[in-house]
Amino acid sequence: MNVKYEITAERRNVKDVVRSILSCILFHRLFGLCVPQSREVLGITYPCVATSSIDSLIEERTSQLVRSNESGGEIGLQFFEQRVKRATWFGRAQEDRCWEQWIISVAIVNAKSDTERESLNKKTEKQLREIFLSIVSTVNEHKDHIPPITTTDSTPFPFEIVVPGTSQGEGWGTVFKKMLSD
């Protein structure tokens, strides 16, 4: 399943806005035991998982996104199912199959005045509320593609946060080829 969101934010709010969207998606898709937490961005409270490793990964990738392009870019969150391939002479190999992908397209704007900043923040807040509602709706309506959970780990499905076009991210073409080959 592929989901795409578009949002416009002022440069100084981009990291917080993208972090909130990624955190909300992860909260609804980690499935394992986790400590829930609430955070706030632009006056909106959203759910997240209280895990320092996830927080640092999100911080790293959102920083890459902001550095990669002055006017915006895309960031993706992919969930994988680990499958064990048939045994060969060299043992068993694992393959990852992407079962869900969320793409966030961000337009970065620099406000030139306080009035413009206030107007932009209201627009971003409205978009963010719609995205949060859409996330909840999507995760509740689309469940049939989720693979069976076969582990008791806190994150039964590995995930990646990618920023295409950066040194650590692949281009979307490569990402889609990897998805289609599975």
pLDDT value at 67 more than 60: yes
| pLDDT for the residue 143 | 86
Please report which confidence band the pLDDT of residue 131 belongs to, taking 50, 70 and 90 as the band edges: very high
Distance of alpha carbon 80 from its chain centroid, rounded?
13
Per-residue pLDDT, averaged over 61-81, amounts to 92
pLDDT value at 147 more than 90: no
pLDDT value at 170 more than 60: no
Pairing state of beta strands 94-109 and 2-10? parallel
Residues 13, 165, 51, 97, CA torsion sign? positive
Q: Give backbone dihedrals phi and psi of 18, rounded to 5 degrees, phi first.
A: -65, -40
Q: Hey, is 7 helix, strand or coil?
A: strand
pLDDT value at 179 more than 60: no
Strands (DSSP E) contained in the chain are 2-10, 36-41, 44-49, 72-84, 94-109, 159-162
Please report which confidence band the pLDDT of residue 135 belongs to, taking 50, 70 and 90 as the band edges: very high
The domain spans of the chain are 2-181
Contact 123, 37 (CB under 8 A): no
pLDDT value at 66 more than 80: yes
Contact 26, 159 (CB under 8 A): yes
Distances (CA, A) of 172 to 100, 136, 165: 14, 25, 8
Average predicted confidence (pLDDT) for the chain: 86
Helix 14-29 vs helix 52-68: angle between axes, to the nearest 10 degrees?
A: 140
Please report which confidence band the pLDDT of residue 173 belongs to, taking 50, 70 and 90 as the band edges: low
Specify the pTM: 0.84
DSSP one-letter code for 11? G
The structural architecture, per CATH, of the domain 2-181 is 2-Layer Sandwich (3.30)
